[in-house]
Chains A and B, each alone.
Chain A
């Protein structure tokens, strides 16, 4: 005769506060931001992001020193992000695969999605983290240049003018961060291997640039001014020329087209990224 008994060995339900979806999103965003710079990781993971960010700071330092010697700025604040676009590309190539490819490869996405966190929350948190990281990587050197600039001019009016010149720099950095961040995160989310993802991210940026040259050669005067739409790098430059008069491609009178192109590019990246994470199983 069976005489089984279920003992109460003291398992209890969790009755504390549940922090929910917003908290999870915020945590993932913060964790992603730290990951992009290798914070909380081994020293090896810090080398690459800090090397690229450090090079950007070196460029800014040199520019500030030249400005102090020459007495006038060599490169405006808004020009700086296009000047170090190559370093931004490299930073993205290191950070984007670190953010998304590891999760794909490790097959941990089901663990995330079994929580209150939604699929779109995951994608948006990662995207926000990468865009913020790229913006910080660009804004840091800009602030350094501002400090150098403020101390090299005299009078409160001149300082105010310096700050007015500085704000377009931050905005241009934000445009670069948004475009480079969304494009590279989208590309990296398609590859599970970090190494492959990094190479493909860079390929997207450097392969599209020669197309601009080809269109500029074969097209008429209108096509020459619209040729810069062919590459994400030159689209951001075109927007900078239109809004802030950045030295770069001559896009007038098609400036608004570049603005529209950038918005469309960002929206397309976002939608594709969300679509990717709606489907991906692991």
Chain B
């Protein structure tokens, strides 16, 4: 299912030259702030609320997922180099699955590791593992969504930002019903369950979270494969 060459090219496109520097500041900020807050005597609940939930789950995870998830395919569409990949005798699902795998691994590592450290600092190793698991699940769901988005529209990042800021951020606070379609809530619920903590809690049940995370991942992947099957190469217009 995963083509090693496609995966390698994609990873090089993500991390090549100085581009990995772009992904570095946010995780460093996360770890630095958690360590600093604990060192200056902030209670674990405050670290959990501001650093882990408000910064980690609400900002760092979605933003990194967005940059990576739309970057793996979107940058090739922008460059027009996708044509060279499409011209090879490869099944389209292999292209999508390879790119999705790279996106998931890159996101899970760049966010999961600092979140694990943050959990370790704020509470226990158990909490750290819970946060890391949450981030991995989030990486799958977000990557599936944003990968599909980068094939549905030419402006995937702006639409993704609308989803993260308006849907998850604003509507998630105002209208409770929208939380069922908010990946951030699945991540929070799963992390709280696995981490066995009461420092924060998800607003949706764990079973719903698992099912919906799978729906987002598989649905996004299938949609992306379908869109790539009938992908038409068009020049940059706007």
Contacts from A to B (Cβ < 8 Å): 41-42, 44-45, 47-48, 86, 89-90, 93-94, 191, 193-196, 198-200, 202-203, 206-207, 209-211, 213-214, 217-218
Select which of B50, B154, B165, B238 is within 8 A of A206 by beta carbon: B165
Is A42 a contact partner of B237 (Cβ separation < 8 A)? Answer: yes
- Complex contact B40–A218 (CB within 8 A): yes
**CA–CA, A216 and B86, complex, Å:** 53
Query: Which residues on the A side are within 8 Å of B100 (C-beta)?
Result: none
Q: Is A203 a contact partner of B165 (Cβ separation < 8 A)? A: no
- B36-61 CB contact bits vs A (8 Å, 1 = yes)? 11001111001101110011001110
**Residues on the A chain within 8 Å of B71, using CB:** 195-196
Q: Cβ of B162 and Cβ of A203 under 8 Å apart?
A: no
Assembly CA distance A193 to B17 (angstroms): 15
Task: Find out whether the CB atom of A44 lies under 8 angstroms from the CB atom of B154.
Answer: yes
**Distance, CA A193 to CA B49, complexed state (A):** 33
Given B29, B70, B165, which contacts A195 in the complex, CB threshold below 8 Å? B70
If A44-B154, A217-B46 touch, does A210 touch B59 (CB 8 Å cutoff)?
yes
Question: Once the chains bind, are A86 and B165 in contact (CB under 8 Å)?
Answer: yes
Instruction: Tell me the complex Cα distance, A213–B51, Å.
Output: 9
In the complex the two chains form, is A195's CB within 8 Å of B157's CB? yes
Besides A194-B157, A195-B71, A207-B59, 18 other A-B contacts (C-beta < 8 A):
A44-B155, A90-B165, A94-B158, A195-B70, A196-B67, A199-B63, A199-B160, A199-B161, A203-B26, A207-B60, A211-B33, A214-B36, A214-B47, A217-B43, A217-B46, A217-B50, A218-B41, A218-B42
Which of A47, A94, A200, A217 has the most chain B CB within a 10 Å cutoff? A217
- Once A86-B166, A207-B55 are accepted as A-B contacts, the answer to whether A193 and B63 lie under 8 Å apart by CB is no
Could you jot down 25 A-B contacts, CB within 8 Å? A44-B154, A45-B238, A48-B158, A86-B165, A86-B170, A94-B158, A193-B75, A193-B78, A195-B70, A196-B71, A196-B157, A198-B158, A200-B67, A202-B63, A202-B161, A206-B58, A206-B169, A213-B49, A213-B54, A214-B36, A214-B42, A217-B46, A218-B37, A218-B40, A218-B42
| Contact B46 A214, beta carbon cutoff 8 Å | yes
4 A-B pairs with the lowest CB-CB distances in the bound complex, closest first: A213-B50, A210-B55, A210-B54, A195-B157
Whether B33 contacts A214 by the Cβ 8 Å rule is yes
List the A side residues contacting B59 at CB < 8 Å. Answer: 203, 206-207, 210
A residues within 8 A CB of B51?
210, 214
- Beyond A90-B161, A202-B165, A203-B26, is A195–B63 a contact (Cβ under 8 Å)? no
Give Cα A242–Cα B130 distance, bound, in whole angstroms: 43
Q: How large is the interface on B (under 10, 10 to 19, 20 to 34, 35 or more residues)?
A: 35 or more
B106–chain A nearest beta-carbon distance, Å: 14
> Is chain A's binding surface mostly helix, strand, loop or mixed?
helix
Chain B residues near A90 (CB, 8 Å)? 158, 161-162, 165-166
CB-defined contacts of B26 to chain A, threshold 8 Å: 203, 207
* Docked complex Cα distance between A214 and B122 (Å): 13
Contacts A90-B165, A199-B67, A203-B26 hold; do A210 and B50 have CB atoms under 8 A apart? yes
Q: Does residue B133 face the partner (Cβ distance < 8 Å to A)?
A: no
By the criterion CB–CB under 8 Å, are B33 and A93 in contact?
no
Q: B155 contacts which chain A residues (CB < 8 A)? A: 44, 47-48, 195
Contact indicator per residue, chain B 149-169, by CB within 8 Å of chain A (1) or not (0): 000001111101110011001
Write the chain B residue with the least CB distance to A106. Answer: B236
CB closest chain-A residue, reference B52: A210
The winner among B33, B49, B165 for most chain A CB atoms within 10 A is: B165
**Please, how many angstroms separate the alpha-carbon atoms of A213 and B238 in the complex?**
41
Tell whether, in the assembled complex, residue B37 and residue A203 are in contact, meaning their CB atoms are under 8 Å apart.
Answer: no
Within 8 A of A (CB), among B153-191: 154-158, 160-162, 165-166, 169-170
Report Cα–Cα, A94/B67, bound state, in Å.
Answer: 15
- Report if B22 contacts A (CB, 8 A): yes
Residues of A within 8 A of B67 (CB): 196, 199-200
